Amino acid sequence: MQATDAAGSSALSSAVSGIPNAIPAKPTGLAVSIDSPTSLSITWNASSGASSYQLFRDSSSTGSFTTKVYDGSATSYANTGLTTGTAYYYEVQATNSAGSSALSSAVSGTPLAVPATPTGLSVSIASSTSLAVSWNASASAATYQVFRDTSSTGSFSTKVYDGSLTSYTNTSLTAGTTYYYEVQATNSAGSSALSTAVLGIPNAIPAKPTGLAVSIDSPTSLSITLYTASGASSYQLFRDTTASGSFPTKNFDASATSYTDTGLSAGTTYYYKVQATNSAGSSALSSAVAGIPNAMPATPTGLAVAIATSTSLSITWNSSASAATYQVFRDTSSTGSYSTKVYDGSLTSYTNTGLTAGSIYYYKVQATNSAGSSTLSSAVAGIPNAIPAKPTGLAVVSATTTSLSITWNASSGTSSYQLFRDTSSTGSFSTKVFDAAGTSYTDTGLATGATYFYKLQATNSAGSSALSAAVSGTTELPGAVWDNFNWDAALWQ
């Protein structure tokens, strides 16, 4: 360069160089990533011809972006001192000697801490081959990873879920096998520690319970026993007053296997059904079983003892309402302890054998049901005895015109005798003329000059002997008596 006036031109100046240039293009590739809970890392692509870059920040994507956080030639910047959890927006421009580009589109970032380990991990049965895994959301988490192992101390290297939900159903498992699960939370700052392991065992819906039983507990309550069903965690007991009812009344829902249903009406029939439940679902209802709450039965009445044989006694009594069984006790004294139980069953009669003939035995009876036993009845006695022997010595010892006198020998063990009469030795002897304890009898009102046949039996509480052989007697004729009188008178003359 030189200067010129009227006197002439100066010498040329020293040389200076220059390069004509365009304003650089707007930078591309602006990206924001978490650097720490209080810092963000911002990067962008270099812009051709740019000598420097200016990075502006705002708290809104539509803000004025007046806060310049960086001015330099690098294509990255770490913005520190930020507030964790707050969203920050960034725009960048490129600059050279020709000027500055337009600002880029805004890109946001939120400084975050690594999320906390999720809590509330739980595992429940979804089916016989699947488990439902759930957990609580972790603040600032973007995704969750669920890991599985078959040991609580395993490596948990099998990742079964990676997503943003807080529940997952793990399928295609083996029924009855124990599986352990751990979960972690992840965001752009990193991943939390794994949670404590929680186990689950896939299971089938339990089978319908069997063996439901109902027994009387009191006059107003029933005791119900529920037999366990494999895999069940709880049982539900339903009641109705008819076997074909809808069973709307749920009396019990718990893990116990027995229940006492109280407040019932004595004498009313109640029907029960039970189902078994676990996390996979509930079984079908069992068959209905009935029970009737009842009071203890009344003391039996009508106790009686009869001779059965010479060494046995037959005991009978009246049935007692609501009794299930009866117990018969024996003693050799009416005031004894009655500790010898000779019968326990549902009948209302019993034959006590193996006794000693002629000994006296006393008996008492009680009635029992599931509510308890009645008091003992009053004592009743019996003496086992043999049927007496057939009487001997039967004879007709005297006669009148209208009567015959009969005698016989006493028969041991006899309490009475029965004398039978017939007009033929081969007759039926159906006419009983005597039934008492004596050993003689005069049969009167007979026909004159008639022959009569007699048979005799002996009787006691064990029964009656066979009939004796027949003996006969003939009443006198009137003429024979008169002739005798005349003959006797002649002697007196």
What is the rounded average pLDDT for all residues in the chain?
A: 91
Report the pLDDT averaged over residues 345-364.
96
> So what's the pLDDT on residue 484?
37
Residues 338 and 363 in one domain: yes
Boundary-marking domain end, from 347, 382, 417: 382
DSSP character string of 397-450: EEE-SS-EEEE----TT-SEEEEEEESSTTS---EEEEEES-SEEEE-SPPTT-
CA dihedral 337, 343, 348, 353 (to 10 degrees): -100
Whether 486 maps to a domain, the answer reads no
22 within a domain of the structure (yes/no): no
CB 124 within 8 A of CB 203: no
Is 48 a residue whose pLDDT tops 60? Answer: yes
- Is the same domain home to 37 and 105? yes
| Domain presence at residue 4 | no
Are 266 and 222 found together in one domain?
yes
What was the pLDDT predicted at 17? 56
Residues 261 and 224 in one domain: yes
Mean pLDDT of 12-24: 76
Determine the pLDDT at residue 472: 98
* Contact (CB, 8 A) for 243 and 265: no
pLDDT at 19: 55
State the pLDDT at residue 15. 75
- Here the CATH number for the domain that contains residue 356 is 2.60.40.10
Q: The domain containing residue 269 runs over which residues? A: 217-291
For residue 490, the model assigns a pLDDT of 34
pLDDT of 493 reads 32
Confidence label for 18 from pLDDT (cuts 50, 70 and 90) = low
Q: Which of 292, 372, 384 is nearest to 327 (CA)?
A: 372
Considering the domain architecture, whether residues 309 and 259 belong to the same structural domain is answered as no
Average the pLDDT over 393-412 and give the result.
Answer: 96
Q: Among residues 330, 355, 382, which one ends one of the domains?
A: 382
Q: Is residue 286 located within the same domain as residue 320?
A: no
In a domain, 405, yes or no: yes
Q: 243-273: per-residue pLDDT in tens?
A: 999 999 988 888 888 899 999 998 899 999 9
Same domain for 324 and 265, yes or no, is: no
Q: Is residue 6 part of a domain?
A: no
Please report the pLDDT score of residue 296 as a whole number: 86
Q: Rounded to whole angstroms, how far apart are CA atoms 260 and 221? A: 7
The answer to the question of residue 205 being in a domain is: no
pLDDT at position 480 is 57
Quick one: what percent of the chain has pLDDT higher than 70? 96
Under the banding of pLDDT at 50, 70 and 90, the label for residue 336 is very high
Q: Which residues sit opposite 329 in a β-bridge?
A: 341, 364
**What does the pLDDT look like over 163-219, one tens digit per residue?**
999 999 999 999 889 999 999 999 988 899 999 999 998 888 888 888 899 987 888
Confirm whether 332 is domain-assigned: yes
Number of domains into which the chain is organized:
5
pLDDT band at 486 (very low <50, low <70, confident <90, very high): very low
Question: From CA 158, how far away is CA 200, in angstroms rounded?
Answer: 16
SS3 content of the chain, % helix, strand, coil (to 5): 5, 45, 55
Buried b (16+ CB within 10 A) or exposed e, 181-194: bbbbbbbebebbeb
Say yes or no to pLDDT of 16 above 80: no
Strands 52-58 and 88-96, bridge-based pairing: antiparallel
Stated pTM of the model: 0.41
Same domain, 461 and 402: yes
**Residue 485 pLDDT > 80:** no
Q: Read off the pLDDT band of 377 (50, 70, 90).
A: very high
Structure tokens at 430: 């159906």
Query: Within this chain, do residues 378 and 399 fall inside the same structural domain, yes or no?
Result: no
User: Is 492 within the bounds of a domain?
Assistant: no
pLDDT of residue 454: 98
Domain boundary among 291, 316, 348: 291
Q: Which two tokens stand for residue 469?
A: 């052989």
8 A C-beta contact, residue 454 and residue 473 = yes
Which of these ranges, 170-174, 292-296, 438-442, 481-485, has the smallest mean pLDDT?
481-485
